[in-house]
Structure 1
Amino acid sequence: MSPEFLLTAFIVCITPGIGVVYTLSVTLGGGARAGIWATVGCTLATVFHMIVAMAGLAAVLHSSALLFQALKYAGVAYLLWMAWAVLQSGGGMAITAAQSGTPARLVWRGILLNLLNPKLPLFFLAFIPQFLPKEAGLADLVILGSGFTAMTFATFLLYVILGATGRSRLLSSARLMTWVRRAFAASFAALGARLALERAP
Structure 2
Amino acid sequence: MWLEFLITSIVVVVAPGTGVVYTIAIGLARGATPSVAAAAGCTLGIIPAMTAAILGLAALLHTSTFAFELFKYAGAVFLLYMAWMILSSHGVLEVQPEQKLHSMAKVAVTGFLINILNPKLAIFFLAFLPQFIPSGTVAPVTQMFAMGTIFMAMTFAVFIGYGVFASSMRRHVISHPMVMKSMNAIFALVFVALALRLALASI
Which interval holds the TM-score relative to the shorter structure?
over 0.9
Aligned to 2:133: 132
Shift of 1:5: 1.1
Please report the TM-score for the alignment, with normalisation by the length of structure 2.
Answer: 0.93
Aligned to 1:61: 61
Aligned to 1:44: 44
> Does structure 2 retain, via aligned residues, the 8 Å contact 1:95–1:177?
no
| Equivalent position to 2:174, from 171, 185, 190 | 171
Aligned to 1:149: 152
Instruction: Go from structure 1 to structure 2 and tell me whether the alpha carbon gap of 1:102 and 1:34 turns closer, same or farther (over 3 Å shift).
Output: same
Instruction: Go from structure 1 to structure 2 and tell me whether the alpha carbon gap of 1:71 and 1:121 turns closer, same or farther (over 3 Å shift).
Output: same
CA distance in 2, matches of 1:43, 1:175: 32
Aligned to 1:15: 15
**Does 2:189 align with 1:193?**
no
> Does structure 2 retain, via aligned residues, the 8 Å contact 1:23–1:38?
yes
Instruction: Go from structure 1 to structure 2 and tell me whether the alpha carbon gap of 1:175 and 1:100 turns closer, same or farther (over 3 Å shift).
Output: farther
Please report the TM-score for the alignment, with normalisation by the length of structure 1.
Answer: 0.94
Gaps of 5+ in 1: none
Gaps of 5+ in 2: none
Shift of 1:111: 0.9
Provide the alpha-carbon RMSD of the alignment. Answer: 1.5
Instruction: Go from structure 1 to structure 2 and tell me whether the alpha carbon gap of 1:100 and 1:22 turns closer, same or farther (over 3 Å shift).
Output: farther
Instruction: Go from structure 1 to structure 2 and tell me whether the alpha carbon gap of 1:101 and 1:81 turns closer, same or farther (over 3 Å shift).
Output: farther
Instruction: Go from structure 1 to structure 2 and tell me whether the alpha carbon gap of 1:30 and 1:195 turns closer, same or farther (over 3 Å shift).
Output: same
User: Paired residues, what number?
Assistant: 199
Segments of 4+ moved more than 6 angstroms: none
